[in-house]
Amino acid sequence: MSSANVADESTGRRVSELAARLPDLRGRLKSGVALADLTWFRVGGPAQVLYTPADEADLAYFLARMPAEIPITVIGLGSNLLVRDGGIEGVVIRLGRGFGEITIEEGYRLRAGAAVPDVKVARAAADAGIAGLSFYRGIPGSVGGALRMNGGAHGRGTRRRSPGPHPCAAGAGAGLCLPPLRRLG
């Protein structure tokens, strides 16, 4: 885009074009959303289009039908993000409630969606008596960011954990699945 700011008259047109291309989309498409409101430093320009998928199936539908020429940027909680004043061209994807569940499973397993804040993972694990995840308390951001950037603190990292977290299998929910861990105490 040649303009210094992505929020111009083409922004609303892009949302209309995407909505027409994606008639079964259940998530939200918004134009010109101020990304400063979504970052911890409260700086940055608008997203040309902000898409918040309803769930994993909605996100898959969206991505499968996106024209290759439209840039896509995925953001998390905005704790490690600086956005230029001119904003971000194309579509910015921010995961919402459909990716925000934590479940404790049999055998001291924890499953967390990609949008779950890391501190909530640490708290849920502690409440369930699951050891080895307290380091997430010191990591700002979400599970998706911790997976993508190998988030860690206090000498422990997401990828270095043994036996190790891994992205959930397709259909199991986007996020983090941890193999059986030991019980606290």
Is residue 139 pLDDT above 90, yes or no?
Answer: no
Identify the H or E element spanning 12: helix 9-21
Q: Which of 55-69, 97-111, 144-158 has the highest mean pLDDT?
A: 55-69
Q: Where are the domains of the chain?
A: 9-94, 99-178
As a whole number of angstroms, the distance between CA 158 and CA 4 comes to 37
Residue 130 makes CB contacts below 8 A (sequence gap 6+) with: 104, 108, 110, 181, 182, 183, 184
- Identify the pLDDT of residue 135: 85
- Identify the pLDDT of residue 159: 62
Higher pLDDT, 56 or 7: 56
DSSP string, 68-136: TTS-EEEE-SSTT----TT-EEEEEEE--GGG--EEEETTTEEEEETTSBHHHHHHHHHHTTB-S-GGG
Are 34 and 86 contacting, i.e. CB atoms less than 8 angstroms apart? Answer: no
Q: Return left, alpha or beta for 31; rule: phi > 0 is left, psi -120 to 50 is alpha, else beta.
A: beta
The domain 9-94 is classified under which CATH number: 3.40.50.11810, 3.20.20.70, 3.30.43.10, 3.90.1150.10? 3.30.43.10
Q: Span 99-178: which CATH code?
A: 3.30.465.10
Q: How confident is the model at residue 92 (pLDDT cuts 50, 70, 90)?
A: very high
Residue 58 makes CB contacts below 8 A (sequence gap 6+) with: 25, 26, 27, 98
Is residue 132 pLDDT above 70, yes or no?
Answer: yes
Q: How confident is the model at residue 171 (pLDDT cuts 50, 70, 90)?
A: very low
pTM for this entry: 0.80
Task: Provide mean pLDDT across the span 84-111.
Answer: 92
Give 54-88 pLDDT, tens digit per residue. 999 999 999 999 999 999 999 999 998 999 999 99
Name the 3-class secondary structure at 49. Answer: strand
